[in-house]
Amino acid sequence: MSELGNKELSARVIEAAIKVHRVLGPGFIESVYENALSHELRQRGIAFERQKAVKLFYDGVEVGEHRLDLLVEGQLLVELKAVKAMEDIFFAVGRSYMKAIDVQDGLLLNFASMPLTVRRIGREWNHT
């Protein structure tokens, strides 16, 4: 397994997510957490793009589009969940998004759990 890069940036995002989770707790839909986390990142001076549209290609032909929850400082994918349990498909999808935008590191945050579930994902290795 390779080590996640962007440790400092990841830590700053995780700290912001923990604060949001402490204040709101579990029980809301993902968009509520996205709104709150976006506010918290702004307050901390962390640059991000929200609901960034990413075109997906196959054999040089555009075959679809996806919207990323957050792309932090152009180098860290952050996907938000509000689900009972994390599923392997979330990691596979995250790695696919990372490949599409050419970033190496990502975070999967589940706000429905207590405490907040944080999983790091890398493009070429399994989640931890």
- pLDDT tens digits, one per residue of 70-80: 999 999 999 99
Could you tell me which residue, 1 or 107, shows the higher pLDDT?
107
Q: Quickly list DSSP for 43-110.
A: HTT--EEEEEEEEEEETTEEEEEEEEEEEETTTEEEEEE--SS--HHHHHHHHHHHHHHT-SEEEEEE
The amino acid present at 5, given as its one-letter code, is G
CATH number of 7-122: 3.90.320.10
Q: Buried b / exposed e across 75-107, counting CB within 10 Å, b at 16+?
A: ebbbbbbbeeebeeebbeebbebbebeebbbbb
Residue 31 region by backbone torsions, left for phi larger than 0, else alpha for psi between -120 and 50, else beta: alpha
pTM of the model: 0.89
- pLDDT tens digits, one per residue of 32-89: 999 999 999 999 999 999 999 999 889 999 999 999 999 999 999 999 999 999 999 9
pLDDT computed for residue 6 by the predictor? 82
pLDDT more than 90, % of the chain:
87
The amino acid present at 3, given as its one-letter code, is E
pLDDT more than 70, % of the chain:
93
pLDDT computed for residue 1 by the predictor? 38
